[in-house]
Chain A
Amino acid sequence: YNFFPRKLKWSKMNLTYRIMNYTSDLRRNEVDRAFRKAFKVWSDVTPLNFTRIRSGIADIMISFGTKEHGDFYPFDGPSGLLAHAFPPGPDYGGDAHFDDDEVWSDDSKGYNLFLVAAHEFGHSLGLEHSRDPGALMFPIYTYTGKTGFVLPDDDVQGIQELYGKSGTVYSIFYVTITINSPVTYFNYNTSKILLFCAMTRNLKYILFFSTRFFWRLHPQMVEAELVLLKSFWPELPNKIDAAYENPIKDLVFMFKGKKVWALNGYDIVEDFPKKIYEMGFPKEMKRIDAAVHVKDTGKTLFFTGNKYWSYDEEAEVMEAGYPRLIEEEFAGIGDKVDAVYERNGYLYFFNGPLQFEYSIWSQRIVRVLHTNSLFWC
């Protein structure tokens, strides 16, 4: 990794960005999401925070232009130069420009806007081009595939040398299983387990709930640590039915009966709990069995009884054409779901003593495990 001369960097952690115009290649919300994800690549590994503003001068002004577009560094038509950005500083400092003679996409066609933006924002933050061909800051465009993007280590070291590592901010990703048996004699094999994965920036915990307690398990730990639920969230009821995290909004949603709570870290968001029918469920629905957010699609799947729903987090609406039968879409996992979580493009469905590893990409079950294999039992 390399820095600009004089190691230019921002002297503050809270930065603003503004999207000045849009390419006609993508829908507006696709462009918004691509840039938001691109900033999150860097905020995930540093104390940096990025806030979008919609008027005035932001630290990082983002625009699409062609040929000479006002900064005397002209683009060159299709291909060749794709985008550029200026190192931290006043005026043009930090700004990122994208060549609108390119075809921008959110997949492998044309040039992936998220990938190019993540690279340009590296410049906006003070990273120059890296000589490491595997680095995000390597100057040549390479499409890295559809499944979850991971910032290469070369870039992590570079940006953390400029801004330090991130603090212990929790982001949480959930699995949902509910315990029916009393806590005192927790039996992995038969009881249902409520799990969620808490992820600090550099530590990854798995937390799982029982009626009044939850267990905290770090991947390198053998023994789970037992914590009283109300010591974290005093307002929450015991015996939660389901929970999931919305990484886009950095919110955690927890369900019990007909109510849903939204958590931001340790705080419960104002106006919650709400009724689940406000999300689009029928009024007569009594509870939700399990929920999982699928990062790549931006949709959250809710399972109740033998049916499941799909909720569009971006548009905040329930998708048309639901509910559908679980067995029709996820053949082989049974007709109910105790719990489900997503990791690296796989959904892990828990149903009684079994856990089904379902590939989102190939849309089929690729492995069947024991429910308690999560505890290395």
Chain B
Amino acid sequence: IPIPLEDSHEFTEKDLQFAERYLRTHYDLRPNPAGIMRKSGNTVAAKLREMQAFFGLEVTGKLDEETYELMQKPRCGVPDVGE
């Protein structure tokens, strides 16, 4: 899934996959079958915004260094939001 990036930091493919998995696990990001428009609420940017708001980070909807760093921290597997 294309992830909006803050251009101040170089993320590897592996980083992006980790970020996507994080948003799936904790922010209910659902996969988007190819070719079907996604409801705005379920875009990666929206989920990033949700996570940034939850942790009190600057809400940009883009993956930046601070957000990625927080994703690295050991944590509980229960989602932060969503069903």
Contacts and interface: CB of A to CB of B under 8 A. Distances in A.
B56 interface: yes
Residue among B25, B55, B75, B79 facing the most chain A CB atoms (10 A cut-off)? B75
B76 A82 contact: yes
A133 B73 CA distance: 13
Interface string A250-294: 000000000000000000000000000000000000000000000
Interface string B16-31: 0000000001100000
Interface string A111-136: 10000100110010000110101000
Contacts of A111: 74
A129 B73 contact: no
A84 B73 contact: no
Nearest to B54: A131
A138 B46 CA distance: 21
Contacts of A85: 78
B78 A139 contact: yes
Contacts of B75: 80-82, 139-141
Interface in B40-63: 54-56
Interface in A38-93: 73, 75, 79-85
Contacts of A129: 54, 76, 78-80
B77 A81 contact: yes
Given A131-B54, A131-B56, A139 B76 contact: yes
A145 interface: no
A321 interface: no
Q: How many interface residues does chain A have, given as a range? A: 20 to 34
A141 B54 CA distance: 16
A140 B55 CA distance: 10
Nearest to A116: B76
Contacts of B54: 129, 131
Contact of B76 (A79, A83, A133): A83
A139 B80 contact: yes
B54 to A, nearest CB: 6
Nearest to A129: B80
Given A82-B77, A84-B76, 16 more contacts: A73-B77, A75-B77, A80-B75, A81-B25, A81-B77, A82-B74, A82-B75, A99-B77, A111-B74, A116-B76, A120-B76, A129-B54, A129-B79, A131-B55, A139-B80, A140-B70
27 contacts: A5-B83, A73-B77, A75-B77, A79-B74, A80-B74, A80-B75, A81-B77, A82-B76, A82-B77, A83-B76, A83-B77, A84-B77, A85-B78, A111-B74, A123-B76, A123-B78, A128-B78, A129-B54, A129-B78, A129-B79, A131-B55, A139-B26, A139-B75, A139-B76, A139-B78, A140-B73, A141-B73
